[in-house]
Every structure is written in C-alpha cells, then in structure tokens.
Structure 1
Amino acid sequence: MDQLVALCKRRGFLFQSSEIYGGLNGFWDYGPLGVELKRNIREAWWRDMVAAHNELEIPPGAPSTYEMVGLDCAIIMHPQVWKCSGHYDLFHDYLVDCRESKRRYRYDQVQGRWVEAKGQRIFVATEASGDEGLKDVEQKALKFFNLRAKQADALRWDGPLASLTTVNDFSLVLGPDAKTLGTLTAPREFNLMFETHAGALRDESSKVFLRPETAQGIFVNFKNVLDSTRVRIPFGIAQIGKSFRNEITPRNFTFRSREFEQMEIEFFCHPSTSRAWYQYWRDRRYRWYVELGLAGERLRLRDHSAEELSHYSCGTADIEYAFPFLAPGEFGELEGIAHRGDFDLRSHMEGKLTRQGNELVVELDAEGKPKHRGSGKDLRYFDDQTKERYAPHVIEPSAGADRAALAFLCEAYQEDMAPDENGVPTQRVFLKFHPRLAPIKAAVFPLVKKDGMPEIAREIYADLKPHCNVFYDEKGAVGRRYRRQDEIGTPFCITVDGQTLADGTVTIRDRDTLRQWRVHKKDCLGELLQRLR
C-alpha cells in the first residue's frame, strides 16, 4: 500500500489537502491524473446506469422495463429534512476520549488484547488491526510492564484481538496513546453531521447541515420529478454529488474521509415487486465492478444478517473489496444495496418513524405528539391504470466514487519484469486500468525529434485529441517514455518511427502485454476507439 500511496502523490493522482500548511486530516485533493480517473468512474456509472439505459427493453434479470432520470440537489437543505429522516437523532458514532493524550477514538474501532504480567492483568488497546495490531499491543505491553523484547515470554496473553466494546471496566484499559491505565472516558454519542449557519445570524433558527448523504434530496423531490416528467413506476432517480461526515478517525488513505462523493440511485417500485427489483440491482451493481476490472477473490457480494440491518431496511447487501491496508480476510465496503421499503417517503409525509415490532410508526414525544413532524404533503404514487394509490418501495444502490477510485487504483497496481530501453530486464511498475477508466487513453511519440517524425506525431495527436484524452511526448528515450506511461496506466502508446516515413504505418504498443503491432497512421483513431470500449 505504501508504494501505491507514493505513486499517487508522485504522479499526480492524490494529494493531502492543504499540504503546505501541514494538511487537514480526512480531506484529499485529486491531482491532474486523479481527477481524470474519478471523472471516468463517474461517467462510466452515469452512462451505464442512466444515459445508455434502454427503457424499451427488459434488461437481463429485471422484472420489467423501467425508466431512469437524473437529479442534482443542493448540499444544504432544510433542517427538517434531517430530523424526519432520522439523521438528526440517530446519525452518530460512539466515541471515547483519552484524558492523557487528549485524543478521541471511535469506540467500535479500538481493539486490544488482555495480557497479564507481574501479577497485573490489563487490556492493551490499539487503533491498528491484524498483524500490525498484534505487534502494536505487544510493544505497548512490554513498555508498560518495563520488559525488554527478549522477555516477551513473560507476557501471558488471553485471547485474540477483541473490540473495546467487550470491555466492562475501563480502569484496566491502557489507551492507544496512553502510558497509564484508566485514561479513557466512557463512550458517548457524537453526531456526524457538519453544522453551519445560513444567513447573517448565528443562532438555532439559522442552523443548517452539510448533507451526510445525497439520498434525502431525491426523496424530497420525488413529487417534483413525478409532476415534471412522464415517468411511471418502476423508475429510478440517479444523482452524483458530494456528502460530508465528521468522521472521528478518518484513516486508510481516502477510504474513510470527511468529504466524499456518492453515486446513488433511488429506485421506486410497487411493493409487490420490490424483492425482485432488490435482487436485480444487487446483482447488476456487482457485475458493474467485475466488468470494469474488479474481479477474483478480492471482490465479494455479502448479504447482511438480520442483526446488521438498519431499522428502515428490509434487506441489504454490500459489495466489498479486500483493500491492501486491511488485515488478511478483511473486506471494506464499496457499495451498499438497500431495500428501504416505504420508510423514506413516509418519513417525509408523516414525520420521523421508529420501528415497533414489525411496524414503522411515527415517533412521539413526551406529550404524545410527533417528535419531528413531516411535511404533510402526499408523496404517494397514483397509478392511473389500476387506480391504486400507494407509497412506493425504494431500492437504493449507493456507491462511493472515492472508494471506487481507491479500489480501482489498488487493483490496477502491478509490478513485473520488462526490458528497459537497453533491452535489460528491470522491474516495471504499471497501473492495469480498464481502458474506460484510464486517465490517459493513449500517448503519441515520435521516435526521434527529427526527420519529420514530430510533425507526423503531432498530426496523429491532433486527430485523436477531440475524441479522447491523449498525451504527446517527444522528450527522452522512447523506452523511458513507455515506462512513464505504464506507471500512470495509459493502455496504448503510438510511436512514429523510420518505417512511418516509408509506408505511413505506426507502432501501437499494449501496456499489459507489451505486444506491438503496426497500423496505418490514418487508421489510428478507429483502432484506438475500438480497443477503448
């Protein structure tokens, strides 16, 4: 993972935000190549899910035809949106503070091990996991008990790494950054929404929030979309946009950030067909990642157990990837596909809902009134053919553009042995992106800067540039130019050489196989577009 992080900075994929001032934890800037990669991911998602969708044909695995439309909602919305959705009351993590180090930790992300030495039994805590976590707690235990490394056998361990949530007596806990016992506070709630104020006054009446998800903007615009278009159920509303969560401990590169971009669909369907539609979107979204290069043992589709389900969910599946910063056997979420039932539309009609047994009912305050009152607007759908009026069920495929970019980077990173410009086998680093995602689709080189080769190469570059992102380079040995393009994931390199002057053909080199073949310079565009599909 360290090699990939270094490459991302060196070649302009990702930078720490505000780096010249020491950076700001949980925020990242996409460099010239990173912004192209992320844009390609967004465009692939939008094209495959929305723009290229044929509403006249039934897709494989779908119960019927359906329509798709787009939306772009404001980041800041009326505070009542978040009260009725449940975010205002429920969107929080539990945290613990360390009185010694003044640091704050997510309660459920701290692990540790019980250990006994010199007649004392303690729980040694760490933020690390896997093998790194085991090493960290051992070093901390040796230091706490004033033992040398060769005295590690004096430590009697009790069980594997376990969550801090399993510990009842915090007076026995050695915090992740503490030197003494009992410095961690009891866990308390911490709301993850960023607060700000709209207008000149800074009081409760002007308090607003940066949205923690894009979904609610779709729900509150459901009636607007119905009234302004001719869509009929089943149909989906798609949106790509920024969301913000005040994560307590952002970590693992861009995996857990405080500012991130979501690609979400809210798919509205009749309750009687909702299970079939959930299955369709669950399978289709998994195939999308596979088709773009995330395949094999590092990608999996996992259904949530009943205990994991959110209070609103009738079923949820996660598409997960085995990121290299995780311990062996661990996976991180790329996308969640949730069967949300009619929870969201009812919440914005009636008010904040809570589950009582198998029923969702309006949550009441101490006086028996709705705790957070809904809009009172009728957000039900009326079917003018069956004359039925009902609250549609919602299937939500919710993907993270930043996590997708990170997963595609991790999957693409490859090392092999290949001949250098002198024909000597040396280690080669390359990014094996799917051509649709590659930041630069092709590079055009003249073999040398003379004999008319640069002029021909510039003509080819000019022909290709209107159709895709291409790069022109005439500096240095051609072998080094190939290596530079390999390292940033460019799938094809086109070289103008001596034979070009004789018969008009150029060399095209494949990034992954290193195979080279010749085509006429006039056929470069057609050849390239065919291979970029």
Structure 2
Amino acid sequence: MAKLTKLDDIVSLCKRRGFIFQSSEIYGGLASCYDYGPLGSELKRNVRNAWWKSMVQMRDDVVGLDSSIFMHPLVWKASGHADKFADLVTVCQKCNTRSRVDHLTEGAEEHTEHIDPELAAKDAKNLDKKVCPACGAVGKFSAPMEFKLMFQTEMGANVDDQMKVFLRPETAQGIFANFRNVLDSTRVKVPFGIAQIGKSFRNEVTTKAFIFRTREFEQAEMEFFCEPGTDEEWYKHWKEQRFQWYVEYGIKKENLRFRDHDPDELAHYAKACVDVEYKFPFGQGDWQELEGIANRTDYDLRQHQRGMRTINDWYENGRDLTKVTLKEEAEDYHKGPLSFFDDQEKKRYIPYVIEPSAGIDRSTLAFLVDAYDEEEVKGKTRNVLRFHPAIAPIKAAVFPLVKKEGMPEIAGKLSNDLKKHFACFYDEKGAVGRRYRRQDEAGTPYCVTVDGQTLEDDTVTVRERDSMDQQRINIDQVKSYLRENLDI
C-alpha cells in the first residue's frame, strides 16, 4: 500500500538523487532559489517539452514566441504592474515575521494572484484579530505597508542613457507587445494563440514549500485571441484542455480540482478566472493553485494601445514612470494598431484573450509528488517514482550482469545505440538488484540487462519499473520494444 507522501520525503529524494539542490548551498544557500541537478534538469526539460507539444506542436491555431526578459518600462506602465503590482504587508511585533495582509485571514486558502492594494486595505482594519503564522501571536501587527513586487535595475552604460528597467514579473506582456508582429509576419488569423515558456521574477513577500513559490521561476503561458462574444466558449475549451493535460501525463484525477475565483478576488483585468488546483502535501487544506485559466477580455491590447500613445510624454518627463499618465483611449480604439480586421466578416475589433498560465517549476513539483511511492517488496522498502514515460528523466537503463565475459562490451554498445533515440543510462557498478532500485528511485521506466544467456542466444532481460515484471527479447528488438512501450 502506498505511503502518504510528505514534502520532506520529496525534498530528501531530490537532494539524494540529484533532482533539485538549494542554490549556492556551499555558501549557506539563498532563500527561495533552487538549482536543478542532472535528473531534475532532464525532468524539467521534459515537462517543458510536454507542455509545448500539447500547446503548440499538436495545434494548428497556436504559434510560439520567445520574448526578451527586459522590456520597455512603458510595457509595465500600460499593463498596470508599475502602479499596482504590490502586496500589503505587515510585520509581527513579537517575532518580526513579515506577512501578506491577505494571507492572515484565519482559515483562508492562499492564492498566488496578487490583489490590488486598495482591495486588500479592507483587511487592515481587522489586524487585531489576525494570527501570526510564525509565532501564533494575535493582533500584534504593524500598520500595513505597500511592498513592490517587481525587481528593478538600471540599463545603460552612461548616466545620460541610463533608464530604469524591470525583470519581467510575467511572460504574458511579451506576447501582447508582439501581437501585431505575429499577425504581420505569419498567416495566423483570429482565433489563434501565442505561447511561450520563459523565466519570470517576483520579489515575493513570503516564499514557501520548496519550489512551489520562488522569486525566480519559469512560466508557460498562452494568450488565445478570439472574437468578443466567443470568449466564454473558448474559456470553457481551455479549462477542459488544461485539466486533461495533467491527467494525460500522470497526475491522478482525484488529486486535481477546479476552483473558480470569487468576484472580489478577480484580477483587475479578468472577466473570469479558474484555478486548476492540486492536492500538494503542505499548506492550508493542501489544495493549492497549479495553473490559472483567465478570461482577460481585451484589457491588455487596449492598454498597450494607450501606452503607445504615451511614449512622447515619457521622454518629456525624463523617462520617469511616476510622472507619466496613460493617454485616454481614442474614440476609434477598435481601429488601433493592435486591432484585428476580419476580412471575411468585414469588421475590425480588439480581440478578447483567454490565458492558460502554468508554472513549469510548480508543475514539476506536482509530477514529482504524484509519482512518488513507497512499497514493501520482500520485506524491504522500495522507493519509486512512477513518472509518465514522456517526462521520466531517463527512459531506459542498460546493465551488464557482471563485469566480465564480454558483457560490459555488449551492454555498452547497446546503450550507445539507444542513446541516439532515448535518454539512456549505463551502469555496471554494484549488485544488479541495487541498480534496479536506483533506477526505480530515478523514475526510469525500463531496465535492460545483458547476462550469460545473452552470450548464447542474443536475448536480454527487460524489466518494467512499476510491475517489476521481466521478459526476454532479442537484443535487436530492444529499440523497437522501447519505442512502442514508451509511446514517445
């Protein structure tokens, strides 16, 4: 019977097997920053590839993009991040722990979407009833203060050409800023999507639970542009698609659910939003956001049309964002540069946008948690990661039973041949049973062993990870056998 997974089990396995390490560990580590080791980097790359395959490669109506991390400061003025991307925080006067005001409501679930400080202000009146999550003190909080979430730096070698820029807090704005470029350089027409995977950065007030929430993270976002009036239909479509993606790649259905955002919880740009939640082994009630699907309406494209009309004011005000106000919308904004002309219907409009937004790091953690299992085998505990083959870091391992009689040479040749097609691992150290266990813990679906019988009839033993069943096949059939059973 499978043991209930705890986060400590996952963290221990990740360190022991080279999935994930604390960043700068030799210097004591850097909080909320992590490095992916040999197995972890392969796992994360496979999760990325699985998302890209589903969202771009297998669809005719979605194209890819890779936008710059640094963008013009007016991008963040137009998007609202420069003015509103902040949390209200308070400090416990007993233990000096800083907390987000909206996370102090007793029994409330945490949400990763940052709320408008004006909306959070209503909670400030009730801080005398709030409990410190660190020490348990009640009502011992300082007055709320605004905490900016974007990392800021300077670009330019000389004083005259220096300007304030930001590490992007989301990848979505790079897509909106390139909407016209994609339209003009490809043959796409609404409805269509633009997808990208890339690093984002947020100076979070609180980080938690391993790689669940960090200040540097990787997002996988897609903005699907559709005609107003069809947005609810596409919203439903992408809800179903994204939920099913997690199931397809191995997440147990009972560990997933939808949670609709309440009206007063919606982001300022959203008409509707739903979270795909996963039952992580931590937090309040365990259910935590895995991915958000939002109906962003035409907010972003309209805002960027306003931002484009503000560029002269930005220069005139010394490139100071705090002194710039976005221009009012033109009466004919539907005819602006970020509009779309439907040549069949002979009409022009600003498309609505449906946005599935996932975190690659958070998804990787969910796949790790869901795959983790412990079971008793012949009186001993077997740790195993039951990854879907498509995301498993190693697809097959090849062993010589012993290091003599030509077995290492045969196994080495087979391994090198398989490496042209799969991520393959060769191991000749230790008892074969221990080698099986090491691969179980790495999540490797198949192990292939060259033994004495191989020398007689050219057959090898193929062992399947989950059932531990073994069968003999001809060595020339190994590649086709793996291709068929890995289904990749």
- Shared fold (TM-score, shorter chain, > 0.5): yes
Structure 2 residue 39 is the aligned partner of structure 1 residue 33? yes
Q: Assess if the C-alpha contact under 8 Å between 1:313 and 1:341 holds in 2.
A: yes
Q: Distance in 1 between matches of 2:241 and 2:58?
A: 15
Structure 2 residue 181 is the aligned partner of structure 1 residue 224? yes
Q: 2:470 aligns with which of 513, 516, 519?
A: 516
TM-score, normalised relative to structure 1: 0.80
Q: Assess if the C-alpha contact under 8 Å between 1:108 and 1:164 holds in 2.
A: no
Q: CA deviation at 1:47?
A: 1.2
Q: Secondary structure at the match of 1:208?
A: strand
Q: Assess if the C-alpha contact under 8 Å between 1:349 and 1:374 holds in 2.
A: no
Higher relative contact order (CA 8 A, sep 6+): 2
Q: CA deviation at 1:385?
A: 2.1
Q: Distance in 2 between matches of 1:214 and 1:174?
A: 35
Q: Residue 505 of structure 1 aligns with which residue?
A: 459
Report 1:69-468 matches (<5 A): 69-99=63-93, 101-110=95-104, 168=125, 175=132, 183-200=140-157, 206-327=163-284, 329-351=285-307, 371-373=325-327, 378-419=337-378, 425-468=379-422
Measured at CA, do residues 457 and 380 of structure 1 come closer, stay the same or move farther in structure 2, by a change above 3 Å? Answer: same
Q: Distance in 2 between matches of 1:211 and 1:265?
A: 16
TM-score, normalised relative to structure 2: 0.87
Q: Assess if the C-alpha contact under 8 Å between 2:88 and 2:147 holds in 1.
A: yes
Q: Secondary structure at the match of 1:502?
A: helix
Q: Distance in 2 between matches of 1:373 and 1:164?
A: 28
Q: Secondary structure at the match of 1:45?
A: helix
Q: Distance in 2 between matches of 1:176 and 1:232?
A: 50
Q: Assess if the C-alpha contact under 8 Å between 1:446 and 1:497 holds in 2.
A: yes
Q: Deviations over 1:147-185 (max 9, x none)?
A: xxxxxxxxxxxxxxxx99868465687755669886521
Q: CA deviation at 1:418?
A: 1.5
Q: Assess if the C-alpha contact under 8 Å between 2:22 and 2:33 holds in 1.
A: yes
Structure 1 stretch displaced more, 172-181 or 388-397 = 172-181
Q: Residue 482 of structure 1 aligns with which residue?
A: 436
Q: CA deviation at 1:259?
A: 0.4
Q: Distance in 1 between matches of 2:124 and 2:463?
A: 59
Q: Secondary structure at the match of 2:387?
A: coil
Q: CA deviation at 1:222?
A: 0.4
Q: Distance in 2 between matches of 1:521 and 1:388?
A: 63
Q: Distance in 2 between matches of 1:331 and 1:481?
A: 36
Q: CA deviation at 1:248?
A: 0.8
Measured at CA, do residues 317 and 174 of structure 1 come closer, stay the same or move farther in structure 2, by a change above 3 Å? Answer: closer
Q: Assess if the C-alpha contact under 8 Å between 2:460 and 2:472 holds in 1.
A: yes
Q: Distance in 1 between matches of 2:136 and 2:469?
A: 58
Question: Aligned residue pairs: how many?
Answer: 453
Q: CA deviation at 1:503?
A: 1.2
Q: Distance in 2 between matches of 1:293 and 1:508?
A: 23
Unpaired segments of 5 or more residues in structure 2? 1-6, 111-119, 309-322, 331-335
Q: CA deviation at 1:497?
A: 1.1
Q: Secondary structure at the match of 2:325?
A: coil
| Letter of the 2:479 counterpart | L
Q: Distance in 2 between matches of 1:304 and 1:78?
A: 31
Q: Secondary structure at the match of 1:105?
A: strand
Unpaired segments of 5 or more residues in structure 1? 56-66, 114-126, 130-162, 353-368, 420-424
Q: Assess if the C-alpha contact under 8 Å between 1:26 and 1:254 holds in 2.
A: yes
Q: Distance in 1 between matches of 2:239 and 2:75?
A: 27
Tell me the percent identity: 56
Q: Distance in 2 between matches of 1:90 and 1:37?
A: 35
Q: Assess if the C-alpha contact under 8 Å between 1:112 and 1:164 holds in 2.
A: no
Q: Distance in 2 between matches of 1:450 and 1:334?
A: 49
Q: Distance in 2 between matches of 1:314 and 1:180?
A: 38
Q: CA deviation at 1:283?
A: 0.3
Q: CA deviation at 1:272?
A: 2.5
Q: Secondary structure at the match of 2:66?
A: coil
Q: Assess if the C-alpha contact under 8 Å between 1:506 and 1:520 holds in 2.
A: yes
Aligned-CA RMSD value? 2.7
Q: Assess if the C-alpha contact under 8 Å between 1:111 and 1:164 holds in 2.
A: no
Structure 1 stretch displaced more, 342-351 or 234-243 = 342-351
